[in-house]
Amino acid sequence: MKFFVDTADVKDIRELNDLGLLDGVTTNPSLILKSGRDIMEVTKEICGIVEGPVSAEVTAMDYAEIMREADVLSKIADNICIKLPLTLDGLKACKALTSDGRQTNVTLCFSANQALLAAKAGATFISPFIGRLDDMGFDGVELIAEIRHIYDNYGFDTEILAASIRTPDHVKRVALIGADVATIPPATLKALVKHPLTDKGLEQFLADWAKTGQKIG
Ligand code: E4P
């Protein structure tokens, strides 16, 4: 499973990229707002840090304007992936952009039928939002399982990009189901390494090692 980081914070992106953990980045208008930076400037900087796809979201709603914004965003760098709304105009733009060889990420997916439409429109990625479904009292991870099943039934190439991930348990569950990608907030991604028994075991090993009085090398 590929790991994308869900942020527009370049400090976090650099840190995770230096660890060798990043396969890409996703941003959205709320994350751009949080960064306090200009979308073109910060997206260009991010594209220079990671080699993989960097999702940048259009904000237009009608087809012609979506295509115009997609052209502007595409010029930022070769690894830009155009993030599109899950609307009829967004799907039309998805078909046109993927036919033109561009990477696309259809976002704000909350149902298996929406994911089916995105695959038929040739999307590179579909982004089902797990956490926001959980917030409504549903089990968001179940949607990933449904989409996996449908895509495998028909051999769709669209990659399932599990989004709106809130916990390490979300990451484990979508990996078990076979999501192609998880886009994870920086703190959650770093939390994957933590286990109390790892900390406890290290503490014990280091204490015993000190008692040996030895040094390696
Ligand atoms: C994905 O591309 C979105 O940017 C993101 O995962 C949304 O997550 P949220 O529901 O925590 O805002």
Per-residue pLDDT of the chain (217 residues; tens, 9 = 90+): 999 999 999 999 999 999 999 999 999 999 999 999 999 999 999 999 999 999 999 999 999 999 999 999 999 999 999 999 999 999 999 999 999 999 999 999 999 999 999 999 999 999 999 999 999 999 999 999 999 999 999 999 999 999 999 999 999 999 999 999 999 999 999 999 999 999 999 999 999 999 999 999 9
Residue 203's pLDDT is 98
Residue 8's φ and ψ, nearest 5 degrees, are: -115, 20
* Site residues for ligand 1, CB cut-off 6 Å: 6, 26, 28, 107, 127, 129, 131-132, 163-164, 183
Structure tokens at 116: 């089916």
Task: Name the pTM for this structure.
Answer: 0.97
Q: Give nearest CA residue, ligand 1 atom 12.
A: 164
Q: For ligand 1, atom 11, name the residue with the nearest CA.
A: 164
Distance, CA 199 to ligand 1 centroid (Å)?
30
Tell me the CA–centroid distance for residue 152 and ligand 1, in Å: 25
Tell me the three state secondary structure of residue 48: helix
- 6 C-alpha to ligand 1 centroid (Å): 7
Can you give the length of the chain in residues?
217
Alpha helices in 100-167 (DSSP H): 112-120, 130-135, 140-154
Beta strands in 129-216, from DSSP E residues, in sequence order? 159-162, 181-184
